[in-house]
Amino acid sequence: MWVVTLFFLIGTVQAQEGEVLPSESEYKDPKTKIWFNTYGNIRISKRLFWDAQTHFRFEESKNTPWIGQIGQVYNRHAIGYIYSKKVNFSLGGVLRVNFNTDEASEDRSVVPEFRIWHQYQFAMPLYNFMIYHRLRIEHRWTQDFPDESEYIFRNRWRYMFRAKIPLSNYKLEPKTLYVSPEAELIMQSGKAVVASPMEDLRLTATLGYILTPRLTVAAGMMYSQGQTLENGGIYKQNWTMRFHVYFSPDIRKVKNKLPAIHFED
Amino acid sequence: MKSTLRSWPLIVLIFSMLCFSPSIIGQEELHYTGPFQVGNYTGEVDYTYQITNGDTLLQGPFNFRRSNLGALLNQKDKTFSFSGDFIDGYPNGPWQFLFGEFESDKKTEVIGYQYRVNINGIQKEAKGNISMGKPDGLWTISEALIADSKIKVTLFRSTINYADGVPQQSFRIEYGKSTLVGRFLRNGLAHDDWTMFGEGSTETWTFDDGVLTDIELGTEEERKSIPIYQESFGTFKIINLDTRFSQLLKLQLSENDAHSLQEGITMVLDENASHYKKLDDILSQLGPSEFMPMFKVKVPYAPLDSVENKQLVKIKNSYEDAQRLAKGLLENTQLNLLKRSDSEAQFLYEVVQHLNTFFVGPLKKLASYQQQDVLDYATREQLMNHLFAKGVPSKRVSVSLGEEELQFFELEDSDNYEFEAPAYESLSQIAQYANESLRHIADLLYKKVENEQQQQEFVTLEARMITQINQLNQVIDSTEASGKVLQALESIKTQAENNLNSYSTLAKTEGKLEKAQLLVGCLNTFQNLAQNIGSLPQKALEIQELYKDAVWNPFMANIMDEEVKKRITSAYHNVLIPHILTQVNSDLGCEKAIALNRLLVNLHNRMLQLRDEDTVKLERKLRKERNPNTVLELFNLQSLEK
């Protein structure tokens, strides 16, 4: 249902006020970036967990590709609800710190950004691998770097399809190398969005290794492109190296852990 | 109304006299009717008795019987009926005994107002008078075959007159087709001819004032006369004409003559005695009685003197020992096997048989005569002739084994034994000689058997060792283990083979059998150890599986197995098992192998336990601990050194 809605939003495309749509779409040169992401999934009760993510995102500078300067520091938190082994929901907030990466700019160098987000994740086993559907909706307040910038409000509509396919084992279990292709489409809406509803399309290939049931590491390369907010005819592009650490400690007392796997009891 | 009141005290007086008069007399006659048992007889009884000084004394009529119509119709009924009188506990007066064993043809008939059932079977009856427990007057005992409720054949019938328990005048006993007639003097001594008329033959015992002088027997055409006590004898004794007398006759007669007497008068008298015995058994259980008939005879009396009595005791002891030895040797299964392969054993075995037949056999007869108390009535010559019909045996026992020449056995000190001496002295020497000979042979034979047994034991144990080594090799050949486990298995095998080799170089000395037994035990331990070590990889897997928890991985959204208590499993895999394998590889002895087996079993069990126990503290202590003995201690297990 969400997916369908998302596609309707693509609708008619108009240029932002004051900007003229080019006769053909224009693609900016791709930027190179590197992200270090941590994902915490901290079990706090039988059905609740604390979703804690911290990302450090770097991007190229004039002289240094990939890791020339810090782009954003990103704190995403939520309380998650485990509906079943395959389905969970989260609701929480994001505080993102945006650094001014325009090296020529004389505006402020750092601005905060706030979001409220909720997410619906569905997993499906298929053959010996898993596929996942993730719907994430974000209500986002951003401001630009000039001193007098106003907060603008937008909604983001995100759908991600992902698979995790074990490479060195017959199933996803500890000591297993896996590959994870993923595709995410991020749409946006709001007063400020006139002609550029497709904010980002991300295509990623990740290689991961499950160290223990509670610790996994992964690294991948992502290509993304999307309409710039200023002009729907102009597309930005990125190549991003991503490094992930996934950890899921269980801070419950031992006696409350049992049985650890039965949610329906 | 007025007169009744006045007579009231008188009525009470009369009533109380009626009620209490017996207790005033004291000798109250009581009556009993109900179930009763005498010996094997159980039935309904009806008798009167008195209690005198706390004892029950039968007094007056006695009637005891049993019959069961149901049993009769169903299968078979054993019935009896005893009736008579008692005076002061003694049977006295006319008595009748009936015993029956009947079957019915199951046909009933109503005649008059009674059901009638025909019976078949045996009826025994005895009747006569008893005077204070002794037969008195004419006693008739009979046994008849009953068919269709009628006497068909009389099987036995004895009529004897008594005067106060002493048989008198003439008597008559019919038994089967024979009839014995004879007479007694007033004092119960047999007198004149006692003749048994049988089918075509007769047997006559001629008595003269109680002394049996002749026996004549046979058919009219072929008669045989056996003289018994022909010459008058000085000292005599009057004894009962019973089985003892028969034995006495047997002792003085040739075997042949004794045999021909077996089915004659002796048998009839025995049969008669058995009938009387049956009645005596019943009566003596009810009160004092002497119901057995006392047929009396005179016999010469030559009692053993004190020296002879002492010798007899010696003879008996020697005989009993000798008999036990002979029996033990002859019935020993191992000896029986051994004699097939060992000619010396066979020779000795034959000697034992000879001694048993010609020495122990006659002594056995002597012991039996002594038991029956007949030795005092036989002359020494009679006795020796009877015991050794072919003469006193030789000290030099000769045995022939198949076609070989005769072999001889004789005790080295045989000269010390004197067989040609007065009867009892001679018998005593014979008994001692037999005993000593058997003892000597037993020593030889049992030693042989023991050697043989030991040899067998060696064979069994050594075969066992070979099997054990083979099995051990099999375990090692078939193992899928590799690396250190395989190395340890090879080490066990080497050690086992070394032990076997060093055993095989041992000389057959006293301790070798013990060593063999120890080695079998030791190899068994090695086998167990090999099995325990061989199963380590599989045990490790088992533990690995056990120390896992299923955990939900939120990123994968699936269930994964998580290793738990890793410090414990790590101590197991990385400290203890390597330690054990090292121990197997260095100086493996039996004792150490036993300890290792115990440790392996205990360790595995402990690992199973620890999975469920709260081990937080233990895990903390195990951190960085690499000393196997400390780890064992932390695990609460005994280390190998202890």
pLDDT at position A258, please? 52
For B554, the closest of A125, A174, A248 (CB atoms) is: A248
**Secondary structure of residue B619 in the 3-state scheme:** helix
Looking at this protein, which amino acid is placed at residue B103? E
pLDDT at position B186, please? 83
pLDDT at position B293, please? 72
pLDDT at position A7, please? 43
Burial A11-29 (b: 16+ CB within 10 A, else e): eeeebbeebebeeeeeeee
For B555, the closest of A174, A248, A261 (CB atoms) is: A248
CA dist., res. B53 & res. B59, Å (int): 15
Q: At what angle do helices B483-504 and B423-478 cross, to 10 degrees?
A: 150
For B555, the closest of A41, A43, A82 (CB atoms) is: A41
* Chain A residues touching B560 at Cβ < 8 A: 172-174, 210, 213
Whether B553 sits inside 8 A of A125 (CB atoms) is no
Tens-digit pLDDT profile for residues B237-277: 788 777 778 788 777 777 777 777 777 787 888 888 888 88
Q: Write the secondary structure of A206-255 as one string of H (helix), E (strand) and C (coil).
A: EEEEEEECCEEEEEEEEEEEEECCCCCCEEEEEEEEEEEEEECCECCCHH
Distances B222 to B219, B227, B255, B274 between C-alpha atoms, Å? 5, 16, 19, 32
Looking at this protein, which amino acid is placed at residue B433? Y
- Cβ distance B441 to B329 under 8 Å? yes
* CA trace torsion B595, B597, B598, B602 (10° rounding): 140
Tens-digit pLDDT profile for residues B457-510: 888 888 888 888 888 888 888 888 788 888 899 999 999 989 888 888 887 776
Structure tokens of A258? Answer: 């049992």
Helix ranges (H only) for B122-162 are none
Give me the residues paired with residue B579 across strands.
Answer: none
Between B425 and B24, name the one with better pLDDT. Answer: B425
Tens-digit pLDDT profile for residues B178-192: 888 888 888 888 888
Between A264 and B228, name the one with better pLDDT. Answer: B228
Does the pLDDT at position A254 exceed 70? Answer: no
Count CA atoms closer than 13 A to B543's CA, side-chain side.
Answer: 23
Q: Does A123 lie at the interface with B, CB-CB under 8 angstroms? A: yes
Place of tokens 């410090």: B567
Tens-digit pLDDT profile for residues B614-628: 888 888 988 888 898
pLDDT at position B455, please? 79
Q: Write the secondary structure of B305-341 as one string of H (helix), E (strand) and C (coil).
A: CHHHHHHHHHHHHHHHHHHHHHHHHHHCHHHHHHHHH
Cα B77 versus chain centre, distance: 32
Please give the full DSSP string across A93-153, using - where no structure is assigned: EEEEEEE---TT--S-SEEEEEEEEEEEEEEEEETTEEEEEEEEEEEEEE--SSTTPPPEE
**How high is the ipTM of this complex?**
0.84
Nearest partner of B166 among B140, B141, B184, judged by Cα = B184
B9 burial class (0-12, 13-18, 19+ CB within 10 angstroms)? exposed
CA dist., res. B29 & res. B51, Å (int): 8
pLDDT at position B561, please? 86
CA dist., res. B270 & res. B243, Å (int): 7
* Chain B residues touching A164 at Cβ < 8 A: 556
Structure tokens of B455? Answer: 């040899």
Nearest partner of B140 among B78, B97, B186, B176, judged by Cα = B97
CA dist., res. A144 & res. A150, Å (int): 7
* Mean pLDDT score, B103-124: 81
* Mean pLDDT score, B365-386: 80
pLDDT at position A4, please? 42
- Cβ distance B14 to B8 under 8 Å? no
Give me the residues paired with residue A221 across strands.
Answer: A205, A241
Share the mean pLDDT of chain B.
82
- With residue B129 as reference, give the H or E element that holds it: strand B114-131
Highest mean pLDDT pick, A260-264, B286-290, B456-460, B607-611: B607-611
- Cβ distance A227 to A10 under 8 Å? no
* Chain B residues touching A173 at Cβ < 8 A: 560-561
Structure tokens of B460? Answer: 């069994």
A interface test, pick of B544, B551, B555 with most A CB neighbours within 10 Å? B555
* Mean pLDDT score, B209-213: 80
Does the pLDDT at position B367 exceed 90? Answer: no
CA dist., res. B389 & res. B381, Å (int): 11
* Chain A residues touching B557 at Cβ < 8 A: 85-86, 88, 121, 123, 130, 132
B interface test, pick of A85, A171, A175 with most B CB neighbours within 10 Å? A85
Categorize the per-residue pLDDT at B164 as very low, low, confident or very high, splitting at 50, 70 and 90: confident
- Cβ distance B546 to B564 under 8 Å? no
Percent of chain A residues past pLDDT 90, beyond the cut:
56
Q: Does A207 lie at the interface with B, CB-CB under 8 angstroms? A: no
B631 burial class (0-12, 13-18, 19+ CB within 10 angstroms)? buried
Whether A39 sits inside 8 A of B555 (CB atoms) is yes
CA Rg value for chain B: 45
Between B63 and A237, name the one with better pLDDT. Answer: A237
Structure tokens of B633? Answer: 């201690």
- Cβ distance A229 to A196 under 8 Å? yes
Whether B554 sits inside 8 A of A88 (CB atoms) is yes
* Mean pLDDT score, A204-210: 95
pLDDT at position A12, please? 40
Please give the full DSSP string across B264-305, using - where no structure is assigned: THHHHHHHHHHHHHHHHHHHHHHS----S---EEEEE-----
Structure tokens of A195? Answer: 């002609």
CA dist., res. B496 & res. B316, Å (int): 59
Chains A, B: CB contacts under 8 A, how many?
Answer: 63
Phi, psi of A172 (to 5 degrees): -80, 105
pLDDT at position B87, please? 83
Whether B549 sits inside 8 A of A260 (CB atoms) is yes
Tens-digit pLDDT profile for residues B297-320: 888 887 878 888 888 888 888 888
- With residue B512 as reference, give the H or E element that holds it: helix B512-534
* Mean pLDDT score, B112-120: 82
CA dist., res. A150 & res. B98, Å (int): 140
Does the pLDDT at position A34 exceed 90? Answer: yes
DSSP conformation class of A262: -
pLDDT at position A9, please? 42
Place of tokens 């079977």: B121
Confidence (pTM): 0.49
Share the mean pLDDT of chain A.
86
Place of tokens 């207790």: B23
Structure tokens of B582? Answer: 């090292």
Nearest partner of B475 among B533, B521, B525, B519, judged by Cα = B533
Categorize the per-residue pLDDT at B525 as very low, low, confident or very high, splitting at 50, 70 and 90: very high
- With residue B118 as reference, give the H or E element that holds it: strand B114-131
pLDDT at position B2, please? 43
Tens-digit pLDDT profile for residues A212-229: 889 999 999 999 999 998
Categorize the per-residue pLDDT at B44 as very low, low, confident or very high, splitting at 50, 70 and 90: confident
Categorize the per-residue pLDDT at A15 as very low, low, confident or very high, splitting at 50, 70 and 90: very low
* Mean pLDDT score, A135-164: 92
pLDDT at position A115, please? 93
Tens-digit pLDDT profile for residues B320-331: 888 888 888 888
What spatial distance separates the first Cα and last Cα of chain A, rounded to whole Å? 30
Between A46 and A120, name the one with better pLDDT. Answer: A120
Helix ranges (H only) for B332-387 are 333-341, 343-355, 361-371, 380-387
Between B454 and A170, name the one with better pLDDT. Answer: A170
Pairing of strands B55-66, A152-166: unpaired
Whether B554 sits inside 8 A of A173 (CB atoms) is no
Q: Which of residues 541-580 of B touch A (CB under 8 A)?
A: 549-563
Distances B533 to A114, B585, B629 between C-alpha atoms, Å? 64, 12, 19
Percent of chain B residues past pLDDT 90, beyond the cut:
7
Does the pLDDT at position A100 exceed 80? Answer: yes
pLDDT at position B8, please? 60
Does the pLDDT at position B21 exceed 50? Answer: no
* Chain A residues touching B563 at Cβ < 8 A: 174, 212
Cα B612 versus chain centre, distance: 60
Q: Write the secondary structure of A12-74 as one string of H (helix), E (strand) and C (coil).
A: CCCCCCCCCCCCCCEECCCEEEEEEEEEEEEECCCCEEEEEEEEEEEECCCCCCCCCEEEEEE
Does the pLDDT at position B10 exceed 90? Answer: no
Does the pLDDT at position B545 exceed 50? Answer: yes
Categorize the per-residue pLDDT at B19 as very low, low, confident or very high, splitting at 50, 70 and 90: very low
pLDDT at position A227, please? 92
CA dist., res. A231 & res. A55, Å (int): 28
Phi, psi of B471 (to 5 degrees): -65, -40
Between A219 and B370, name the one with better pLDDT. Answer: A219
Does the pLDDT at position A6 exceed 60? Answer: no
CA dist., res. A57 & res. B382, Å (int): 137
Quote the minimal CA–CA distance from B571 to chain A in Å. 20
